[in-house]
Structure 1
Amino acid sequence: MLLDAMVARDARTVVLVEGESDRVALETLAVRRGRDLAAESVRVVPMGGVTNIGHFLDLLGPAGQGLRLAGLYDHAEEGYVRRGLHRAGYGAELSRDAMAALGFHVCVADLEDELIRAVGVEAVQGVVAAEGELRSFRLFQRQPAQQGRPVDAQLRRFLGTRSGRKSVYARLLVDELDLDRVPRSLDGVLACV
């Protein structure tokens, strides 16, 4: 966590994200949009979970290195982000729109949900098949806890069942995206940095 923050020393802007899959998704989308974040001195820093946001805001924000900050977070974690921004001096009782104006954008419900909806369930299953994991996904669907759940919910859960899978699919699904259907949260973060 602190190592990633130290990487930010040469940055003018840091995008704080919950984990590695968020970093991969943003960096992949930036490339697809023709941007070179490293050349622009923008760093995407995984925090190891949103509960660490206060530490990163203290280290990198106005009271620390004074860098321009932005972020991507899951809907369920909005309270952590709001409280962290408040403690760091960005304002009290910030609305979602106010946080977005500061550069902090919400994924509803999370990155995987956003990407599955944007790419489409059938296309995501095609990506899973191309990765040679369709059989594993079909076995996963047969588990009692998955039976009767919508396919998009099954896919979302499947992406988190093996270490590193979310990051692999973050890149693959962003590559699969029609650039006119990019989730607003991802485009919003990139637009403000």
Structure 2
Amino acid sequence: MTTGMPAGPATWVLLEGASDVAAVRALAERAGLGLDGSGVRLVDMGGATNVRRHLLDAARAPASPRVLGMCDIKEATFFVRALRDLGCAVSCAQALPGWGFQLCDRDLEDELMRALGPGRVRAVLEDLGLTDRFATFTQQPAWAARDFHEQARRFAGVASGRKELMAQALALALHPRSLPAPLRGLLDDLSGDGPTFSSLGATERTGS
């Protein structure tokens, strides 16, 4: 996981947290993108509220990096405001993918679990040796009556390091053709030219 900003030419991928970094890194490496060798840095922002600071770092960098990212739709306003503050004419949250920032409906774990379905999520829990702990968790009064999807989402976040572990495993359990739209869009951006961001602002992709 990378939290600091590189000084040289690179692509910076701004992500909300460590679990997003774990999933994107696993999928990018599986796709043969070679992040480290190509100067790509996955940045754990520690929350969407910090996006403006990271965009300012990019704008001030000696060699302007290409900036991509991904966020939850409920946090998209932070990205829109930050980009507008730096001179980017972002019309609304739904326009963010055209600027290189993909949108998750709820969060990345939700996207991954919906794409896999309950049976394959259970298989991931079993592969990780978490089946018994999950069963104990679902017996708690507050969660016993919830559906499996909500139980699994909450279970991922109740122990230190589990969210990253599960995000990586869930991502790798998906066939490349079955990736959720935000992850597919981000990987496509990483493998292509994508938008640019510098002290002069950002350039929206045409035709997006």
TM-score calculated relative to the size of structure 2: 0.85
Corresponding residue for 1:105? 102
Give the corresponding residue for 1:154: 151
CA distance in 1, matches of 2:165, 2:150: 18
CA RMSD of aligned residues (A): 1.7
| More moved, 151-160 vs 121-130 | 121-130
Question: Which structure 2 residue ranges, 5 or more long, are not aligned?
Answer: 191-208
Aligned to 1:179: 176
Alpha-carbon distance, 1:148 to partner: 2.1
Between the aligned residues of both structures, percent identity stands at: 36
* Structure 1 unmatched ranges of 5 or more: none
2:20 to 19, 22, 26: 22
Q: Distance in 1 between matches of 2:129 and 2:14?
A: 32
Indicate conservation of the 8 Å contact 2:76/2:93, yes or no: no
Look up the match of 1:190: 187
Q: Assess if the C-alpha contact under 8 Å between 1:19 and 1:48 holds in 2.
A: yes
* Closer, same or farther: CA 92–105 of 1 in aligned 2, 3 Å: closer
2:78 paired residue number: 80
Structure 1 residue 4 displacement after superposition = 2.2
**1:58: Cα distance to partner?**
0.6
1:48 counterpart residue number: 46
How far did 1:32 drift?
1.6
Q: Deviations over 1:22-62 (max 9, x none)?
A: 1111111111212111222111111011110010011113x
Using the TM superposition, give the Cα deviation of residue 92 of structure 1 relative to its aligned residue in structure 2, in angstroms: 4.3
Q: Is 1:167 aligned to 2:176, yes or no?
A: no
Do 2:90 and 2:96's aligned partners in 1 also have CA atoms closer than 8 Å?
Answer: no
1:78 counterpart SS class: helix
Task: Give, in angstroms, the shift of residue 95 of structure 1.
Answer: 4.0
Relative to structure 1, the CA distance from residue 118 to residue 11 in structure 2 (aligned partners, 3 Å threshold; closer, same or farther) is: farther
Amino acid across the alignment from 2:118 = V
Say yes or no: does 1:119 pair with 2:116: yes
CA–CA distance in 2 between the matches of 1:120 and 1:92?
34
- Retained in 2: the 8 A contact 1:17–1:47? yes
Equivalences for 1:30-69 in 2 at 5 Å? 30-61=28-59, 63-65=60-62, 66-69=64-67
C-alpha distance in structure 2 between counterparts of 1:129 and 1:10, whole Å: 42
Give the structure with the larger helix fraction: 1
Structure 1 stretch displaced more, 103-112 or 37-46: 37-46
Contact 1:69 1:103 in 2 (8 A): yes
